[in-house]
């Protein structure tokens, strides 16, 4: 086995693969970016980055130096010392893992796999994928992992919209099917990370990645449940969370919202719950948290109905503008966005729904209907009801809250604003806003 890994292939040039490929090229490694989408290859080759976290300038510099892109072929795969796999891992309609992209990448690698290579899976998946179906697909060509080639799992730890999450200061974890594979992968990752932890197995690394995201999903669900309770009790959940957040230990701030989105948080809990059932372990705790978050879009629509009913109207025939459809602020990624369900449910209630998002020009709702982003001024002028789903900084919020329309604020974007009575309804708080940012401190002895 060679440990002189100089030529690295990266399969999948999306939000994980392209930043990885650029980082490896910047570490003076020869990198080949591989993708099945010829349009994406052409775009990258021209120096235009399809990923917001990689600037055109940074991409162009990498292309001038160490990075090239190409469609897959046995010759391309065979020319690499190491091959990373960075492809999607969605779930199907029954909330079971969909490994079609992962297994397709394994078949691609198998076509050119040769002795001495290192294969590293990065896609988020359930424990047992790397050493199970992924390995089996690779070994169908006759070479054996741990004997003829090395195999490891090293999960991505990116935070879309946060370029620092791609930097060297974020620790990396890795687990190999053999100790040698783990150490070899760890040495390579040390080229782009200040700290690398080699775990005992791919299974441990896969579960660590799921634990990171399930932790977030569970705590978001707790915040959402608290918000629902606060609505019934007439308490402002945002005030409660702000107060709890002043504790400097034993508490981590999570906030409620219209639901969860993106590539990991809505998916990973079900990956783990599905895998747990294979061991006769029913993890209702994790599944319940996931279900709480998936139910939030329906609650948002219920708030919309409550708000318009107070003005002796209904959602049927109402003109509703949705503000933000990306799954989080400052990104153009709308995968699994709660806006998809919210828009579809509003349309089911008979509302005429349009949206504005400065980052997402076209959007498909949960019913498959495609929508085009409208200008903010047009949306405000033509809407009876505005629903804030994603609070992008680029949106003129002063204009939104001065519009005269009812505003359903699901993320407390109205904090600190003084508005007309009963014009803003906040998730977890009811009518009104947190007009005072912070209470006055009480001095000792007062």
On whether the CB atoms of residues 65 and 29 are closer than 8 A, the answer is: no
The two beta strands, 30-34 and 7-11, are: parallel
On whether the CB atoms of residues 388 and 321 are closer than 8 A, the answer is: no
Fill in the DSSP letter of residue 367.
T
| Encoded tokens for 187 | 């040495």
Judge residue 283's burial from the number of C-beta atoms within 10 Å of its C-beta, 0-12 exposed, 13-18 middle, 19 or more buried. Answer: middle
Alpha carbon distance 184, 197 (integer Å): 12
Core vs surface per residue 260-274: b (16+ CB within 10 A) or e: bbbbbbbbbbbbbbb
Q: Return phi, psi of residue 284, to 5°.
A: -65, -30
On whether the CB atoms of residues 159 and 151 are closer than 8 A, the answer is: no
To the query of whether residue 264 is one of the catalytic residues in this protein, the response is yes
Judge residue 186's burial from the number of C-beta atoms within 10 Å of its C-beta, 0-12 exposed, 13-18 middle, 19 or more buried. Answer: buried
The residue among 176, 225, 224, 165 whose CA lies nearest residue 200 is 176
Helix, strand, coil share of the chain (percent; to 5): 40, 15, 45
The CA R_g of the chain, rounded to the nearest whole Å, is 24
Cα–Cα separations (whole angstroms), residue 239 to 108, 218, 320, 431: 53, 21, 28, 14
Catalytically annotated residue among 80, 86, 230, 264: 264
The residue among 243, 246, 174, 163 whose CA lies nearest residue 209 is 174
Name the residues annotated as catalytic: 264
């Amino acid at each position: 086995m060679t440990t002189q890994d100089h030529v690295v292939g990266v399969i999948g040039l999306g939000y994980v693969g392209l930043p990885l490929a650029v980082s490896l090229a910047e570490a003076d490694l020869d990198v080949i970016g591989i993708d099945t989408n010829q349009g994406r290859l052409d775009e990258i080759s021209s120096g235009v980055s399809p990923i917001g976290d990689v600037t055109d300038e940074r991409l162009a510099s990498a292309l001038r130096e160490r990075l090239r892109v190409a469609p897959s072929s046995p010759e391309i795969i065979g020319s690499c010392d190491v091959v990373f796999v960075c492809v999607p891992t969605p779930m199907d309609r029954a909330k079971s893992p969909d490994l079609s992209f992962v297994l397709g990448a394994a078949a691609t690698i198998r076509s050119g796999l040769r002795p001495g290579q290192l294969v590293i899976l990065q896609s988020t998946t359930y424990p047992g994928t790397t050493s199970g179906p992924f390995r089996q697909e690779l070994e169908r060509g006759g070479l054996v992992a741990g004997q003829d080639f090395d195999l490891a799992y090293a999960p991505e730890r990116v935070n879309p919209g946060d370029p620092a999450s791609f930097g060297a200061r974020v620790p990396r974890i890795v687990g190999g099917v053999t100790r040698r594979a783990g150490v070899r992968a760890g040495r390579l990752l040390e080229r782009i990370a200040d700290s690398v932890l080699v775990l005992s197995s791919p299974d441990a690394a896969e579960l660590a990645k799921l634990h990171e995201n399930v932790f977030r999903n569970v705590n978001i669900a707790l915040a959402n449940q608290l918000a629902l309770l606060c609505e019934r009790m007439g308490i402002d959940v945002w005030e409660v969370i702000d107060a709890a957040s002043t504790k400097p230990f034993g508490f981590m701030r999570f906030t409620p919202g219209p639901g969860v989105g993106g590539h990991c948080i809505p998916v990973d809990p079900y990956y783990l719950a599905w895998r747990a059932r294979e061991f006769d372990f029913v993890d209702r705790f994790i599944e319940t948290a996931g279900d709480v978050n998936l139910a939030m879009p329906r609650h948002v629509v219920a708030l919309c109905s409550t708000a318009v009913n107070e003005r002796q109207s209904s959602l049927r025939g109402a003109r509703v503008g949705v503000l933000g459809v990306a799954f989080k602020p400052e990104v153009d990624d709308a995968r699994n966005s709660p806006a998809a369900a919210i828009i579809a449910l509003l349309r089911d209630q008979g509302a005429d729904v349009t949206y504005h998002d400065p980052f997402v020009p076209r959007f498909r709702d949960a019913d498959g209907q495609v929508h085009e982003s409208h200008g903010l001024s047009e949306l405000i002028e033509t809407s009876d009801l505005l629903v804030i789903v994603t609070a992008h900084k680029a949106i003129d919020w002063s204009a939104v809250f001065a519009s005269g329309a009812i505003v359903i604020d699901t993320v407390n974007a109205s904090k600190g604003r003084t508005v007309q009575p009963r014009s803003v309804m906040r998730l977890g708080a009811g009518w009104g806003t947190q007009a005072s940012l912070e209470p006055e401190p009480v001095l000792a002895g007062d």
